[in-house]
Amino acid sequence: MTASGKELMRLLDEVSEGVYFTDRKRRITFWNKAAERISGFSGKEVIGRGCADNILIHVDEHGRSMCRGLCPLAHTLRDGRTRQAEIYLHHKNGHRVPVQVRTWPLHDDKGLAIGAVELFSDSSEKLDLGTRLQELEKLAMVDRLTGIANRYFCEKSLEARLEEFRRFDWPLGIIFFDIDDFKAINDRYSHRVGDRALKTVASTLQRNIRSIDLVGRWGGEEFIVLLRNPDRKTVKRISEKLRLLVERSVFWVKGDPIRVRLSGGATLARPGDTVAGLVERADLLMYKAKKAGKNRVVTS
């Protein structure tokens, strides 16, 4: 590599967005420091490998694999056009991270295509999660294991949102999720692996909600999502998106892939609802999802 090339690589390591280069066969040839931070994968782990080889494993919000005909970088390699997309990468720890992706073709001095470059940024960072969690921690309202809101904070938030619903008719939706067959994970592997599964689910949910919404751990393997000002279509879309992203998340234990699936119940607040009544209705819908075969969301 020339001195100017080395200087370029050094400068790319200073930028806050993830950057990686590939050759024409989509083998990764460069991976900057921000790519390591956002994805959890080091340069040593990925350089020389295919970008879809158990690394980023991009999916869209419908859970579809981007490597099967939807990959922006693959299309850029094929036609030489730049592209931009909002997709979800697989973090080394197992959870899904929403990223804004941009791709460009790479050419040699003669103008011949030699590969492509992808630049990606963590969309969840714009939600300022650090500030939000610090505020929660000051009030001792964070679940210690998963780092998201605990049940007490969820209950207080539900009370406040229901009061807004009563006074101003501002819509409120909730999703009640339960991990399918969680006991089997604990029994087969260990409670430590079960804790890791809980963290993976919590992180995927937290990073992929809207900035106005809230996700918390209700208890055990149960999670709750509070949706502000949604309509029925929005409740259904968000609940299905979150379920799919959790389903497509994975981490490895001694070479075994550990995948977690959720059953959920989603509903809108109705006149006369109490916190207990609203949660119970979502809980009952979740059990309907369990009885219907699991790994699905029932809405009402």
Active site residues: 221
Q: What are phi and psi of 159, to 5 degrees?
A: -60, -45
- How open is the CA angle 202-155-150, to the nearest 5 degrees? 35
**179 DSSP β-pair partners:** 262
- The answer to whether the beta carbons of residues 227 and 172 sit under 8 Å apart is yes
Q: Classify each residue of 181-213 as buried b or exposed e, where b means 16 or more C-beta atoms within 10 Å of its C-beta.
A: ebeebbeebeeebbebbbbbbbbbbbbbbeeeb
Q: At what angle do helices 151-168 and 275-291 cross, to 10 degrees?
A: 110
Alpha-carbon distance 10 to 166, whole Å?
57
- The answer to whether the beta carbons of residues 214 and 202 sit under 8 Å apart is no
Would you list the DSSP string of 149-188? B-HHHHHHHHHHHHHHHHHH---EEEEEEEETTHHHHHHH
The 3-state DSSP class for residue 28 equals: strand
Name the one residue in this structure whose structure tokens are 């460009």: 104
- The answer to whether the beta carbons of residues 102 and 120 sit under 8 Å apart is yes
Name the one residue in this structure whose structure tokens are 């036609």: 79
- How open is the CA angle 153-154-160, to the nearest 5 degrees? 90
Alpha-carbon distance 131 to 37, whole Å?
19
